[in-house]
Amino acid sequence: MIAAIVAYAFRWSIIPSAIGELGHGVKVTLILSGISTVLSLALGLVVALCRMSGLRLLRYGAYVYIQVFRALSLYIYVLWIYFGIAAGIGVNFSPLTAGVIALTVLNSAYMAEIYRSALDAVDPGQREAALSLGFGRRHRFFTIVFPQGFRVAFPSLVNQLVDIVKDSSIIAIIGTTDLMGVTNQLVSYYRAPFELYTLVGFFYLTIVLVISGAAALVERRLNRHVH
Amino acid sequence: MPLAYQINWTPVLDHKHAFLVGAWINVWITLISFFLACVLGIAIALLRNSGLRLLSWPAFAYVQLVRGVPLLVFLYWVYFGVAIVSGVAFTSSQAAIIALTVTGSAYTAEIFRAAITSVDRGHVEAATALGFTRRASFRHVVLPQAFRIALPPLGNILIGLLKGSTLISIIGVADMLYVAQQINLDYFTPFEPFTAVAVILIVLVAIFSLILTGIERFLRLP
Amino acid sequence: MSIDAGPTGASTPATYGSPAVGNEIVRGERLNKWFHRGRAHELHVLEDVDVSVSRGEVLVVIGPSGSGKSTLLRCLNFLAPPDTGTVTFLGETLSAERLPRLSIQARLDYERRLRHFRTQMGMVFQHFHLFPHMTVLDNVAAAPVRVLRMSKPEARERAAAELGRVGMSGKTKAYPSQLSGGQKQRVAIARALAMKPQLMLFDEVTSALDPELIGGILDEMRKLAESGMTMIVVTHEMGFAREVGDRLVFMDEGRIVEQGHAREVLAAPENPRTQAFLRAIL
């Protein structure tokens, strides 16, 4: 095996031309991930609030929602939406739309769990203090509890964002415009799978490292005065 | 919304045996990968904790690298890339196991590292005082406790690998998703097979979770 | 106008110059509270407690831990709604007894009246509970802005005034994490006072402080009492109880065991349990 590796004619020279194309793919991936993250942050918050609500129906509904979607894999869900639901309701989703829907719904379940444990972690004394001052439920949540809970949740939410970026690569199976999809096209064109997949691996790695680094800076600023 | 599409479960039900066989493939590939990922993870965790920069830094880099790359990329990289370069023709299953193992090992390595570091130093000192060698005290004192600490997060990784295993049909493994796709191609019924696979996956995850909770409870220190 | 305690306690007839009912600010009647009600480890924390405070009066509540003192405070402002009984405050009566069975409309009405209660009652906690993500000034101004719907500049002015009153003018832009315990408690007091309440509740507010800081807080409380504020103070500081307290209540195991004029009870307690407690801590 080692002999074969040594003898193989690596074609690293294609990389410069490939990078341009991959750049377009990066843009699509980032937009796809960004939109899905924002939507799932919002949807996840709604689900988390249902999970903690006083109405039993909402509580159980949210619980089931979370368990079901945390058990699914994105790939299955994407296929289900792109082929199954599309046929079922007679709509033709574009691959990106199906991707956004799948990523949003699936990750909202994880976000909901993250929110829930973060909000639980906020000191109960804060609630008492707010109540004793006469804060109503909505003000109590948005002014006192949520700002603190968000700081606790932030690292986990960033992890989720990283997962979304990585999982978005699954769109390549049904479409060709994201980073992975572009790579597959280039592979069939240049017939250099090793070089190209190695390259795209580093692309994803870079994106992840940049996001993590930026998040660390934001986290430090968020927690400047809070400990 | 009126369904122009008629839901027809017959093709799925006719092939339920095929689905179960496919699901079984997902399960055993997951289990093998998990086991290998744990072994590899322990090794990497030991390197990280070794204190020697020469050993710990590559281990750190490995973890960061693997965690930054999607599973799909690994699948393609192993099955197409490495295969062509090294001349070794991996079967789909082999490539799948390799990719899942590598991905899983980055996470298990972190889990073991944290678990090992969190075992009380006092226990190790007591063992040394009693005459245990370093290797023996690790094997008999640290490792068992580290396992107990690591178990819950490892359970999550196992379930994560189960979900990851749903990708293996992409490189040609005949798992349950492959069966679903075949049915869709043969019978033009896109909705039912994928729903069936989704349901099977949810049930599998639920079963795994129950077993894991049971194990955790069984191993709880008195 | 104190009402008698339960059957086990010695009942002290109201001899201290009790004003007429019209001067009574708050009254709790037949208050009962259970934790884990209906379960095996059920705890009867408050047992048939009746309490009343007149305008301008300082009521001190003492007793061993677990006697229900903090729970009593929390029942009065419904942080821990009493399972039975009513609280009458400024003429309005509120009860949590039928809460689970109220319609949505009735519930909203209950909560509205409750919020009104709470805006007129201020509470200071043992562990301060300042909002860590806000500056000192914003901590004090937050409730006036959100609850009283004051404009921000107006609220900040009021906050600055209250902070000045407790000696914290220099720290308005600081964050709670940068303050000492005593400073945090001063801010907490200012925060409660900013709502201009008619009744202040103090829950062991010096118990979490370093000894050298306790005196400062007790001074602030004394100033407040001298300015005519009605206060209910749960504390272990007997010196404060003797000098600033008007009436004193001794609680044990969820019941009021003895009550009366603060100096009298502390000097010559009638009930043996009170005697034992005071002997142990004085």
Domains of chain A and CATH, by start: 15-119+131-222 (1.10.3720.10)
Tens of pLDDT, residue by residue over A179-202, are 999 999 999 888 888 989 999 999
CA angle A157, A163, A166 (to 5 degrees): 150
Q: Which of B3, B72, B82 to mutate to test the interface with A (most CBs of A within 10 A)?
A: B72
**Architecture in CATH of C1-124+198-282:** 3-Layer(aba) Sandwich (3.40)
> B79, B86, B188: best mutation site toward chain A, by most A Cβ within 10 Å?
B86
Nearest alpha-carbon partner for A80 in A62, A66, A93: A93
Beta-carbon contacts of residue C257 (< 8 Å; ≥ 6 apart):
C5, C8, C9, C10, C63, C250, C251, C271, C273, C274
The pLDDT of residue C97 is 83
Per the CB < 8 Å rule, is A129 touching C129? Answer: yes
**Cβ <8 Å between A132 and C177:** no
Strand-by-strand arrangement of the C43-54 sheet: C43-54, C24-35, C84-89, C92-95
Contacts of B198 in chain A (CB under 8 A): 72, 76-77, 80
Q: Any bridge partners for residue B20, and if so which?
A: none
Q: In this predicted model, what pLDDT tens digit does every residue of C87-135 receive, in sequence order?
A: 999 888 888 888 777 788 888 888 888 888 899 999 999 999 999 999 9
- Segments in chain C below pLDDT 50: 1-21
Cβ-based contacts of B84 with chain A (< 8 Å): 8, 193-194
Interface TM-score (ipTM) > 0.90: no
State residue A89's pLDDT score.
78
| Chain C CB contacts of A227 below 8 Å | 132, 177
* A contact chains, 3+ CB pairs < 8 A: B, C
Cβ contacts of residue C101 below 8 Å, gap of 6+? none
- Taking only the tens place, the pLDDT of each residue in A110-141 is 999 999 999 989 999 999 999 999 998 888 98
**pLDDT reported for residue B190:** 83
Q: How far is the C-alpha of C221 from the C-alpha of C206, rounded, in Å?
A: 11
Per the DSSP assignment, residues forming a β-bridge with C44 are C34
- Domains of chain B, first to last: 28-174 (1.10.3720.10)
Length of chain B: 222
- Chain A residue numbers with beta carbons less than 8 Å from the beta carbon of C155 are none
Run of H or E residues at A71: helix A56-71
Chains that touch B (3 or more CB pairs under 8 A): A
Query: Are chains A and B touching, using the cut-off of 8 Å on CB pairs and a minimum of 3 such pairs?
Result: yes
Q: Which of C130, C178, C195 sits opposite A134 (nearest CB)?
A: C195
Task: Give me the numbers of helices (H) and strands (E) for chain C, helices first please.
Answer: 9, 10
- The answer to whether residues C10 and C270 touch, using CB atoms and an 8 Å cutoff, is yes
Structure tokens at C90: 């400024």
Q: With contacts defined as CB-CB under 8 Å, which chain A residues touch B166?
A: 73, 75-76
Residue among C70, C107, C113, C133 with most chain A CBs within 10 A, to mutate: C133
CB–CB contact A133 C177 (8 Å): no
Q: Which residues of chain A have pLDDT under 70?
A: 227
Is there a contact between B166 and A73 if contact means CB atoms under 8 Å apart? yes
- Are A194 and B88 inside 8 Å of each other by CB? no
pLDDT at residue C98, rounded to an integer? 80
What is the crossing angle of helices C181-193 and C136-146, to 10°?
Answer: 20
Per-position DSSP letters for C230-273, written without gaps between them: EEEEE-S-HHHHHHH-SEEEEEETTEEEEEEEHHHHHHS--SHH
- Is the Cα dihedral C173, C177, C182, C186 positive or negative? positive
Task: Report d(CA C87, CA C74) in Å as an integer.
Answer: 11
Q: Which of C131, C147, C177 sits opposite A134 (nearest CB)?
A: C147
Q: Which residue of C has its CA nearest to A140?
A: C146
Long-range Cβ contact pairs of C63-69 (< 8 A, separation 24 or more): C63/C250, C63/C251, C63/C252, C63/C257, C63/C277, C64/C252, C64/C277, C66/C253, C67/C251, C67/C252, C67/C253, C67/C254, C68/C33, C68/C251, C68/C253, C68/C254, C68/C255, C69/C204, C69/C234, C69/C251
Contacts of B206 in chain A (CB under 8 A): 67, 71
pTM of the model: 0.82
Numbered ranges of CATH 3.40.50.300 in chain C:
1-124+198-282
Q: How far is A222 from chain C (nearest CA, A)?
A: 9
Which ranges of chain B have pLDDT less than 50?
1-2, 222
Are B197 and B20 within 8 A, CB to CB?
no
| Yes or no, beta carbons of B85 and A10 under 8 Å apart | yes
Q: Is C128 left (phi over 0), alpha (psi -120 to 50) or beta?
A: left
Give CA angle at A97 (A94, A103), nearest 5°: 140
Alpha-carbon span C236 to A59, nearest angstrom: 43
CB pair distance less than 8 Å for C125 and A143: no
- Which of B158, B184, B194, B202 should one mutate to test binding to chain A, selecting the residue with the greatest count of A CBs within 10 A? B194
User: Which pLDDT value is given to residue C178?
Assistant: 94
pLDDT of residue C16: 33
Residues 83 to 142 of A: which have CB under 8 A from any C CB? 123, 125-126, 128-129, 131-137, 139
Residues of chain A with Cβ-Cβ distance to C142 below 8 Å are 133, 143-144
Q: Give the pLDDT of residue A21.
A: 87
Pairing of strands C247-252, C84-89: unpaired
Instruction: Return all residues near A62 (Cβ < 8 A) that are at least 6 apart.
Output: A47, A48, A50, A51, A53, A112
Are B81 and A193 in contact (CB < 8 Å)?
yes
Partner-chain contact B163 A83, CB within 8 Å: no
Q: Looking at residue C25, what is its pLDDT?
A: 86
Sheet holding C58-62, edge to edge: C121-124, C199-203, C230-234, C58-62, C247-252, C255-261
Q: How many residues does chain A have?
A: 227
Interface test with C, best of A132, A135, A138, A225 (most C CBs within 10 A): A132
| Token representation of residue C251 | 């609680």
CB contact under 8 A, A134 and C127: no
The alpha-carbon gap from A129 to the nearest alpha carbon of chain B, in Å, equals 35
Which pLDDT score is estimated for C74? Answer: 92
**So what's the pLDDT on residue B221?**
53
Residues 6 or more apart whose Cβ sits within 8 Å of residue B130: none
